[in-house]
Amino acid sequence: SVAPYATGSRSDASDLRTVSDQTQADKRARVRVELAGAYFSRGQTAIALDEVKQALVAKPDMPEALNLRGLIYAALGETRLAEESFLRALQVAPRDGDVMHNYGWFLCQRKRYDEATKYYLAALKDPLYPTPEKAYVNLGLCARDYSVMVVDGERFSRYSTDYFDTPDLRLYHAHHAGQ
């Protein structure tokens, strides 16, 4: 499956932060998160977790660090700790598309499909979310385990029709019209 996305763009529910808004603690924490991401991408989860913990010492409510900690705990099989990290990241940054995407991925991996769909769709509504194609791909991969999925009121099914029909599906429509 497609890997989750681990960098963030929003700091809280009320403001969009840019680089010029960063304090020294923000910068220290950001460097630690970048190191953690690099270690995590190389499979060095223990070192990555240590770097994330150090980032959170510098900036306890940093959504990117909380998000990455959720991914690391998920990779380590620490489901409860992973979920707590994602939920805390969502408390701090409820509109962050990266957090919503990664939490959606986490939920899908645990066959919590309805919840996962909600978070993938919410990530797609974030105008700063840099990779909507990842959410669409992961939404599709998650949906493969559904027999029927409803997204924004539109019903999708993985099953094909059993009807031998005309190109305009006349028999299908007649059947559903009760004829």
* Across 8-22, 53-67, 98-112, 131-145, least confident range: 8-22
Is pLDDT of 110 > 70?
yes
Is pLDDT of 68 > 90?
yes
- Please tell me the distance from the alpha carbon of residue 63 to that of residue 9, in angstroms, as a whole number: 9
Q: Helix, strand, coil shares of the chain as percentages rounded to 5? A: 60, 5, 35
Average confidence (pLDDT) over 117-138: 89
Residue 7 has a pLDDT of 45
**H/E segment holding residue 46:** helix 45-58
Is pLDDT of 47 > 90?
yes
Tokens of 97: 């598309």
pLDDT tens digits along 52-65: 999 999 999 999 99
Residue 57 has a pLDDT of 96
- SS3 state at 169: coil
- Please tell me the distance from the alpha carbon of residue 12 to that of residue 96, in angstroms, as a whole number: 8
- Please tell me the distance from the alpha carbon of residue 179 to that of residue 151, in angstroms, as a whole number: 29
Is there a contact between 49 and 69 (Cβ–Cβ < 8 Å)? yes
Is pLDDT of 87 > 60?
yes
- SS3 state at 113: helix
Residue 21 has a pLDDT of 79
Residue 175 has a pLDDT of 59
Residue 81 has a pLDDT of 98
Tokens of 178: 């009760």
Q: The tokens 């991925």 sit on which residue?
A: 105
- Please tell me the distance from the alpha carbon of residue 179 to that of residue 176, in angstroms, as a whole number: 7
Residue 2 has a pLDDT of 44
Average confidence (pLDDT) over 22-48: 94
**Cα angle for residues 91, 153, 172 (degrees, 5° grid):** 150
- Please tell me the distance from the alpha carbon of residue 19 to that of residue 27, in angstroms, as a whole number: 9
pLDDT tens digits along 131-176: 888 888 888 888 765 554 555 665 554 444 444 445 666 655 665 6
Is there a contact between 9 and 96 (Cβ–Cβ < 8 Å)? yes
Terminal Cα distance for the chain, rounded: 43
